[in-house]
Amino acid sequence: MSKMKKIFSALALSVLLAIPAPTLAAPASGKAPELQKWSFAGIFGTYDTNQLQRGFQIFQEVCSTCHGASLIAFRNLTEAGGPEFPESQIKQLASEYYIIDPELEEGERPAILADQWPNPFATEREAREVNGGALPPDFSVLAKARNLAKKFPMNFYDMATAYQEGGADFIYNLLVNYEDEPPHGVEIADNQQYNSFLGRGIAMMSPLMEELVEYDGDGVPLTVEQYAKDVTAFMYWMADPHLVSRKTIGLNVLIFLSVFALLMYLVKRRIWAGVKH
């Protein structure tokens, strides 16, 4: 019987070793991605509040002219673990936007903290007409919906750090790899711009440029790369706003299980101490 167990164990181990773990690669025919060091990466990662506030500024001044964020309410911008803006500031911000309300005689009203971020277009048809037939995706969970392509096998660093920021790295690399002209032999549509990371044309024109948005005097460089990192971090927070609390709960559970396992081991040693094995 013990021989059979060894055989089955060997077979199971060989099957596990034969299943390669995924790692990350560039999109087909595209440029290899440049992975970033995100503050929220790893099991101890947290969001950088200042970066989220800068990212929201990019979203508000640049991205929100075409993209909505229908799952995010104004009040979320004041909550702990996020941008943590003062409530009074967000109330003032919300009052500058109008929400369509058919029950009102005027047909609309100023937004309040409980309202979702308004879509820049009233209908999908309007959005497509303005954007040359393309429909700008909603930003709410885009950082989780996108990911880097996977190849095998996964390297040790990715496994050790529990890499799961593929969506953030995808968006960052997309934003910083626009080219003025496609390479020789590559054709794109008239209403597209070439992106070397994707290796093809894309309907969204390059949204960022140097010194596009003026930050509030914190010494952060006004470069495309910095803008891309900041708005990507904000998009990742929108897609996973409870990341910090989730990681905290996970660590507490691991600590509890470790302590509980140690106590059970000591109890077992105490109960069976007088029994010969």
Domain annotation covers residue 126: yes
When the pLDDT of each residue in the chain is averaged and rounded to a whole number, the result is 85
The answer to whether 152 and 24 are in contact (CB under 8 A) is no
pLDDT at 46: 94
Please answer whether residues 176 and 225 qualify as being in contact, where contact means their C-beta atoms are separated by less than 8 angstroms: yes
- Asked, for residue 228, whether it belongs to a domain, the answer is yes
DSSP 21: P
For residue 190, tell me if it sits in a domain.
no
Model pTM above 0.95: no
Structure tokens at 109: 């009203």
Q: Which two tokens stand for residue 216?
A: 């509030």
The arithmetic mean of pLDDT across residues 57-61, rounded, is: 96
Start-end of H helices in 96-208: 124-130, 142-145, 156-160, 166-176
Q: CATH number of the domain that 129 lies in?
A: 1.10.760.10
Decide if 262 is inside a domain.
Answer: yes
Q: How many domains does the chain have?
A: 1
**Residue 51 located in a structural domain:** yes
At residue 30, the pLDDT reads: 78
Asked, as a colleague might, if the bond just before 27 is cis with ω within 30 of 0, I would say no
**Residue 100's pLDDT is what?**
83
Cβ proximity of 220 and 65 under 8 Å: no
Please classify residue 169 by burial: count the beta carbons closer than 10 Å to its beta carbon, then call 0-12 exposed, 13-18 middle and 19+ buried: buried
Alpha-carbon distance 210 to 57, whole Å?
A: 15
Answer whether residue 29 shows pLDDT above 70.
Answer: no
> For the segment 173-218, what is each residue's pLDDT rounded down to a tens digit?
999 999 999 998 888 988 899 999 999 999 999 999 999 999 987 7
Domain that holds residue 129: 18-72+117-179+207-266
96 found inside a domain: no
Residue among 93, 128, 85, 88 nearest 110 (CA): 93
**17, pLDDT greater than 90:** no
Q: How far is CA 269 from the centre of its chain?
A: 47
For the cut 90, the answer to whether the pLDDT of residue 1 exceeds it is no
Residue 199 lies in a domain: no
The values of phi and psi at residue 116, to 5°, are: -75, 155
How buried is residue 71: exposed, middle or buried, by Cβ count under 10 Å (0-12/13-18/19+)?
A: middle
Q: Assess if residue 102 is contained within a domain.
A: no
